[in-house]
């Protein structure tokens, strides 16, 4: 299922109160353009990274959804060509596919 998200409020309403993302440096979200990844738990994030076998030393950082996701952050994601956000994705080791709810970041008008 894919849903268009145009505002911070729409995104926050779709997320759990606390969200987690993967990072290699403690600040920047790890992504695979055009996809970014958000998780309900840190364990889910780190399991996803291990299953995916990125070859990078990734760890999870958790924050309140409203504090992490702002219009500036959404604009930054769009500017770096991240146009889809997976929510609680899973990685299928057999097929190499990623599954989960995808939110599409609509262009600002």
Q: What is the pLDDT of residues 6-27, one digit of tens each?
A: 665 666 677 788 999 999 999 8
Tokens of 58: 């990734």
Domain count, the chain: 1
pTM: 0.81
Question: 9 is in which domain, residue-wise?
Answer: 2-105
Q: What is the pLDDT of residues 76-103, one digit of tens each?
A: 888 888 989 899 999 998 998 999 888 8
Strand 18-23 vs strand 59-64: parallel, antiparallel, or unpaired? antiparallel
Q: What is the CATH classification number for the domain harbouring 11?
A: 3.40.1350
DSSP SS3 for 93: coil
């Amino acid at each position: 299922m894919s849903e268009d998200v145009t505002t911070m409020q729409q995104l926050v309403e779709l997320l759990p109160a606390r969200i987690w993302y993967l990072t290699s440096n403690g600040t920047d979200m790890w992504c695979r353009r055009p996809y970014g990844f958000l998780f309900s738990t840190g364990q889910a994030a780190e399991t996803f990274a291990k299953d995916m076998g990125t070859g990078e030393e990734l760890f999870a950082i958790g924050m309140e959804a409203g504090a992490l996701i702002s219009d500036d952050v959404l604009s930054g994601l769009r500017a770096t060509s991240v146009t889809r956000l997976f929510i609680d994705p899973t990685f299928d080791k057999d097929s190499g596919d990623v599954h989960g709810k995808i939110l599409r970041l609509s262009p600002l008008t």
